[in-house]
Amino acid sequence: MQQALYTVADNCRIARDIYKMTLLGDTTAFSAPGQFVNIKVDGFYLRRPISVCHYNSNTLTLIYKTVGKGTDALSRVQRGAALDLLTGLGNGFDLTVSGDRPLIIGGGVGVPPLYRLCRDLSNQGKKPTVILGFNSEADMFYIDEFARVAYDVRVVTADGSFGDEGLVTDVMAKLGDYTYFYACGPIPMLKAVCRLAQTSGQVSLEERMGCGFGACMGCSIQTTDGAKRVCKDGPVFTKEALEW
Separation CA 25–CA 4 (nearest Å): 8
Give CATH for domain 2-89: 2.40.30.10
- Residue 209 is predicted with a pLDDT of 66
Identify the CATH assignment for 95-204 out of 3.40.640.10, 3.40.50.80, 1.10.1200.10, 3.30.470.10: 3.40.50.80
pLDDT tens, N- to C-terminus, the chain (244 residues)? 899 999 999 999 999 999 999 999 999 999 999 999 999 999 999 999 999 999 999 999 999 999 999 999 999 999 999 999 999 999 999 999 999 999 999 999 999 999 999 999 999 999 999 999 999 999 999 999 999 999 999 999 999 999 999 999 999 999 989 999 999 999 999 999 999 999 999 999 987 767 777 777 778 888 888 888 888 898 999 999 998 7
- Residue 218 is predicted with a pLDDT of 73
User: What SS3 class is residue 141?
Assistant: coil
- Asked if residue 47 lies in contact with residue 36, where contact means CB atoms within 8 angstroms, the answer is no
Kind and range of the H or E run holding 76 = none
Separation CA 59–CA 30 (nearest Å): 12
Tell me, yes or no, if the pTM score tops 0.85: yes
How many other CB atoms are found less than 10 A from the CB of residue 70? 17
- Residue 194 is predicted with a pLDDT of 97
- Residue 181 is predicted with a pLDDT of 98
Domain ranges of the chain: 2-89, 95-204
